[in-house]
Copies of this chain bind each other. A is one copy, B any other.
Amino acid sequence: MPVENQFSLSCPLPISDYPRVLLAHGGGGKLMHQLIESVFVSAFSNLTLSAKLDSALLDLPQNKIAFTTDSYVVHPLFFPGGDIGTLAINGTVNDLAMIGARPLYLSAGFILEEGLPVETLWRIAQSMSQAAREAGVQLVTGDTKVVDKGKGDGLFVNTAGIGVIEHDLLISPSSIASGDVVLLSGDIGRHGIAVLAVREGLSFESDIQSDCAPLSSVVSDLIDNGIHIHCLRDLTRGGLGCALVELAEAARLCIHIHETSVSVRDDVQGACEILGLDPLYIANEGRFVCIVPPSEAQHSLEILHNHPVSTNASVIGEVKNANAGIVTMATAIGTTRIVDMPSGEQLPRIC
């Protein structure tokens, strides 16, 4: 097993013979085995993966587990602050974290378009390897399919994840109560604008990087410090706006937020104004809302401020009994508006 090769900076040898993905790389024969060995096994070395069984065999520390999946189709594959590989690891890690699970194991299913440079695949596998290490998860099983040129778009990847629940909290919209405080972990809108900028060839005065990050460790900090978290939600597709509407509807309560408390960087706000976008609905990949009992809001905020992914966390609102299922926002100009769920999406293929 080429364990030492895990973070080498150049592609292993066999790739140079086949610099682009061929349909035959999906065929179950020698070429597929070479591709898996040289790209995936070298990037994700671990004993479970290298056993090359049809399934990974896993020992879990306890019985209560969480299971999730997401496919990633972001276009383009690389953007400031990350790539489809970092997204695919962090997105699934974060889905587990959002119900308070500690992420342990991930699967990866690749759909490659014929003609994809193997170098591109290799870079993405390296990103995934690094992101998995940072998030403390192991990629233990995988699959590769190849579709004909023109029937895909370079590379799509699906990750599924398994985590363990090591506490007795029910972190769910059903635990949200009237009077609860809504915390936001940082500024919003950066991931969407970073992807859009590179897609459309826009340049801004400052460098807008995706906020893509794993959230499992900050959630652990909250739980380990005894915070009785009622609900968590990461702000991916649909952004803060959609996330809050989903939670208000599921909890059958009203969530009231204050526009001036929602942090949006000036350069992101400027880009949104030029492009006619509302930062409230722009996707983030490392931001979440955390809903806690009012007596624990201040302590929660201190814990969030002590973690690098949420140093700028703030209280943005509270939960009320009135207007069940509705999100209201006190605007910067002193009015109150309803935050609705948009019909479609502002930015396709953002994750």
Contacts and interface: CB of A to CB of B under 8 A. Distances in A.
Interface of A: 22-33, 51-73, 75, 94-96, 98-99, 101, 105, 107-111, 140-143, 145-148, 150-153, 156, 158, 160-163, 165, 172, 233-234, 236-239, 242, 246, 250, 283, 341-346, 348-349
Contact of A27 (B72, B98, B156, B237): B237
Contacts of A107: 67-69, 160
Contact of A54 (B58, B99, B153): B99
B342 A147 contact: no
How many copies of this chain are found per oligomer? Answer: 2
Nearest to A165: B57
Contact of A101 (B25, B55, B69): B55
A143 B55 contact: no
Contacts of A234: 54
B28 A109 contact: no
A351 to B, nearest CB: 8
Contacts of A22: 344
Contact of A58 (B32, B65, B150, B250): B65
Given A152-B151, A153-B152, A27 B68 contact: no
Contact of A57 (B27, B66, B69, B246): B66
A68 B95 contact: no
Given A29-B343, A59-B64, A69 B108 contact: yes
A233 B147 CA distance: 24
Nearest to A142: B69
12 contacts: A27-B346, A27-B348, A30-B344, A32-B237, A54-B98, A55-B66, A55-B96, A57-B65, A60-B63, A63-B63, A69-B107, A70-B109
A63 B67 contact: no
Given A63-B60, A242-B28, A69 B109 contact: yes
Interface of chain A: mostly helix, strand, loop or mixed: mixed
B55 A99 contact: yes
B69 A58 contact: no
Contacts of A246: 52
A345 B153 contact: no
* Residue among A22, A61, A234, A343 with max Cβ neighbours from chain B (10 Å): A343
A67 B92 CA distance: 15
A348 B148 contact: yes
A80 B237 CA distance: 37
Contacts of A32: 237
Contacts of A94: 54
Most chain B C-beta atoms within 10 Å of own C-beta, residue among A66, A143, A162, A242? A143
A25 B349 CA distance: 11
Given A151-B153, A345-B26, A109 B60 contact: no
For the complex of A and B, 5 pairs with smallest distance between CB atoms: A27-B345, A24-B344, A28-B238, A28-B237, A160-B160
